[in-house]
A and B are shown apart, each in its own frame.
Chain A
Amino acid sequence: MDLLEQLGDTFLNWEEMAKVIPSLLMVGLPNTLVLAVASGILGSLLGLLLALMGISRNPAARWAARIYTDLFRGLPAILVILVIGIGLSPIAREITGSRNPYPLGILALTLIAGAYIGEIFRSGIQSVEKGQLEASRALGFSYGSSMRLVVVPQGIRRVLPALVNQFISLLKDSSLVFMLGLASSDREIFRIGNDAMANTGNLSPLVAAGILYLILTVPLTHFVNFIDNRLRTGRPEKKEPDELAAPIGKGAQA
């Protein structure tokens, strides 16, 4: 067998891929999405809280946010997932009554994502001009209302691209929960590809898993570019009726 054929068989064996595709789509995809979306939403809420603490006038809140962020940004994701997933599993079993590692997996991913998203939100909120807060306060809004109605919405809009990037990273990191041991129906995309690879000794199922990740992440990357562009240049402006009417009128006359 020549080398090319051998490589093709190792990575692009269609039969091996076809065998794994149904469970990739029916089991792996929903599980990966559950992990990424749940920890994405919870991580955003945690991040918003951390951002508001980080810019608070209360030094204790600022310090707490700082220490939290340093801690969870500074540790490898896999370490956090293992420590939380294994360390807290007796407690989780008592509360949920099941051995399903998802609640703890989501918790660990949320704690990590929150640290990153908190910094993203903080930079966005701090980039809003001081005059916005001042104008809102001058109208009679309290500090809290001003932040909620005026400053935070603008800050978040500015960091949407970074936020989507963080979600992409979360989507990939969700594969790390495989370390916690997953029942057959709980396996996510990576684990399904990995199991099939282990059983057959052929890498094609992992390649198929990789392609599925790309199908999820590449459109998101382009979506980031799209909103980034939109935020930079603004929505294409609608012409006013009289401006539009003029050329149309001329066209009709000609």
Chain B
Amino acid sequence: MTEFTSGTLTGKNLHLSFGHNHVLRGIDLHVEKGTTASVIGPSGSGKSTLLRVMNRLIEPDQGDILLDGRSVLKDNPDELRQRIGMVFQQFNLFPHKTVVENVSLALRKLRKLPKDQARAEALEQLDLVGLKHKADVRPANLSGGQMQRVAIARALAMKPEVMFFDEATSALDPELVKGVLALMTDLAKGGMTMVVVTHEMGFSRNVSDTVTFMDAGVVVESGPPEKIFSAPETDRLKGFLSDVL
């Protein structure tokens, strides 16, 4: 894997409500440059919302977001999102574009690269995820695992400083999960800063540097994986682990 110019991401006291529903209740999350933070917790605990708040797909009601120590809340959110790649549970590839066009679209329209160069860079990214040979087919002709690898290539093409994974393997057939997790592991080992919302406890335990356990919009416990998985302190985390492991 290539070297990444990754950054340090910090969320401070993040709050968000949808009407009376207080989804995030003062979340702190610090991801040191080049490390992987996994976020675990039951459905509806606010994990996916936290990712969307940290790249400002949803603006927080309160709190601050820092990239390399500088607050980004006053920046243009579109520019912030160019620095943070995101991979979704449902892949969300653009079905009307070919695989290589999915990857090169942002390079052409946002980085303003000429068509040939954008294609060349996109092919390079596809090569990294092992799908260069599928460059000119439509996403509909790919398996779920292949789609997710294209989605990862699409996000990586923008040379992001941080990568978000929102349950990236939850929609995949079991036999396809492995390939995507292997790719994510490569990225983590290659020094990418990553925030991984996941139900894959194996990945969380073996690959991530820190684990954050969320429930009902708050961080209940966080720390290195050995502590979270081997010596949980709260009853809520103990209960969650006994349900999923």
B57 in the interface (beta carbon within 8 A): yes
Whether B78 lies near A135 (C-beta < 8 A) is no
Query: Given contacts A131-B88, A145-B109, is CB(A138)–CB(B95) below 8 Å?
Result: no
For residue B195, which residues in chain A have a CB less than 8 angstroms away from its CB? none
Cα(A43)–Cα(B96), bound, Å: 25
For residue A140, which residues in chain B have a CB less than 8 angstroms away from its CB? 78-79, 81-82, 106, 110, 158
Secondary structure at the B interface, as helix, strand, loop or mixed, is mixed
A142 in the interface (beta carbon within 8 A): yes
Task: Select from chain A the residue with minimum beta-carbon distance to B95.
Answer: A154
For residue A131, which residues in chain B have a CB less than 8 angstroms away from its CB? 88, 90, 92
Whether A134 lies near B105 (C-beta < 8 A) is no
Assign chain A's interface to a size class.
Answer: 20 to 34
B154 in the interface (beta carbon within 8 A): yes
Assign chain B's interface to a size class.
Answer: 20 to 34
B39 in the interface (beta carbon within 8 A): no
For residue A154, which residues in chain B have a CB less than 8 angstroms away from its CB? 94-96
Which of A131, A138, A141 has the most C-beta atoms of chain B within 10 angstroms of its own C-beta? A138
B55 in the interface (beta carbon within 8 A): yes
The digit string for B129-164, where 1 denotes a CB below 8 A from any CB of A, is 000000000101100000000010011001000000
Which residue numbers of A lie inside 8 Å of B, CB to CB? 129, 131-132, 134-142, 145, 149-150, 153-154, 157, 234, 237
Known: A135-B94, A138-B81, A141-B109. 17 other contacts (CB 8 A): A129-B90, A134-B57, A137-B57, A138-B84, A138-B85, A138-B155, A139-B105, A139-B154, A140-B82, A140-B106, A140-B110, A141-B110, A145-B109, A149-B105, A154-B94, A154-B95, A154-B96
